[in-house]
């Protein structure tokens, strides 16, 4: 059955975990759909893992449209979520709508944008015009130069309070989902319990409504140092399909992320 925003909402209500992986092409889309991954994220992380850039900032809307079309071709029942890239939505709600419309026309069924409370007006503008939105808070990689690196967010009292406010404002604006990246597990849990819409975590502990990882990271393909929140699911299996199935099993069974993947 086709995964929709209603399916995701229902999974939260039933206490079942949502599975999400990044996906950049048709072949992986097919394999992830067959493993029953609910959401395929066409992430702007493709700038780093495919293009070799040192941040997500250089990724263009054209490139996101291209990869979204590739993924949508074979996504089957899985929901296609596409990132709005840096520079394509921050200027105004109108700019965000035009960019989102391109992604939706390419096959996206929801768009993701980075930013807290200050993006609420844009979220509302998109939602009122028929575009489901996932809001990405905490470590928002497009702001890496403001943060001065890829660091855990919400560690101070003021930082934690801002994240609580961000999540509430984005939900009130109509966001269908809130993704939290590199947030202390206790805070992510508290925010998850305070929201009606599902939360997705990456480096946010196990007590959120679902998990996401960059597929190259969870297959052990990406060179360099493994981030704390990443697990290599190729260990103990003999195929990529097996690794994706193991990820789904561990997220659904709440054994991933374990304490060692958590802040
Ligand atoms: O682009 C991406 O891969 C993402 C995830 C890290 C959530 O936004
Ligand atoms: Na992203």
Rounded to an integer, what distance in angstroms lies between the CA atom of residue 255 and that of residue 259?
Answer: 9
Let me know if 14 is a catalytic residue: no
Burial class of residue 259 (count of CB atoms within 10 Å of its CB; 0-12, 13-18, 19+): exposed
Tens digit of each residue's pLDDT, the chain (263 residues): 999 999 999 999 999 999 999 999 999 999 999 999 999 999 999 999 999 999 999 999 999 999 999 999 999 999 999 999 999 999 999 999 999 999 999 999 999 999 999 999 999 999 999 999 999 999 999 999 999 999 999 999 999 999 999 999 999 999 999 999 999 999 999 999 999 999 999 999 999 999 999 999 999 997 778 899 999 999 999 999 999 999 999 999 999 999 999 99
What is the CA(202)–ligand 1 centre distance, in A? Answer: 8
For residue 152, the tally of other CB atoms under 10 A from its CB is 18
Burial 153-177 (b: 16+ CB within 10 A, else e): bbeeeebbebbeebbbbbbebbbbb
Closest residue by CA, ligand 1 atom 8? 43
For residue 98, the tally of other CB atoms under 10 A from its CB is 13
- Which atom number of ligand 1 is nearest to the Cα of residue 214? 3
Is the complex ipTM more than 0.90?
yes
Kindly state the tokens that stand for 75: 């996504």
Can you list the domains of the chain with their CATH numbers? 5-261 (3.20.20.60)
């Amino acid at each position: 059955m086709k995964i929709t925003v209603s399916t995701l909402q229902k999974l939260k209500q039933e206490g079942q975990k949502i599975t999400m992986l990044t996906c950049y092409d048709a072949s992986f889309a097919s394999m992830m759909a067959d493993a029953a991954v609910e959401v395929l994220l066409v992430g702007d992380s493709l700038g780093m893992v495919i293009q070799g850039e040192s941040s997500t900032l250089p990724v263009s809307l054209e490139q996101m449209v291209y990869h979204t079309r590739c993924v949508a071709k074979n996504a089957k029942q899985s929901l296609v979520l596409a990132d709005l890239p840096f520079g394509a939505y921050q200027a105004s709600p109108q700019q965000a709508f035009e960019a989102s419309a391109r992604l939706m026309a390419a096959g996206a069924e929801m768009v993701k944008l980075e930013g807290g409370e200050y993006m609420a007006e844009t979220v509302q503008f998109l939602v009122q015009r028929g575009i489901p939105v996932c809001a990405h808070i905490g470590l928002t990689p497009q702001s890496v130069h403001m943060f001065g690196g890829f660091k855990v967010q919400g560690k101070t009292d003021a930082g934690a309070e801002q994240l609580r406010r961000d999540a509430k404002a984005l939900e009130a604006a109509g966001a269908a989902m809130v993704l939290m990246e590199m947030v202390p597990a206790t805070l992510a849990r508290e925010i998850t319990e305070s929201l009606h819409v599902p939360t997705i975590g990456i480096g946010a502990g196990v007590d959120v409504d679902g998990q996401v990882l960059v597929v190259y990271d969870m297959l052990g393909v990406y060179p360099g140092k493994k981030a704390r929140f990443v697990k290599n699911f190729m260990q103990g299996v003999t195929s990529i399909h097996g690794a994706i199935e193991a990820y789904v099993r561990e997220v659904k069974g709440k054994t991933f992320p374990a304490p060692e993947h958590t802040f």
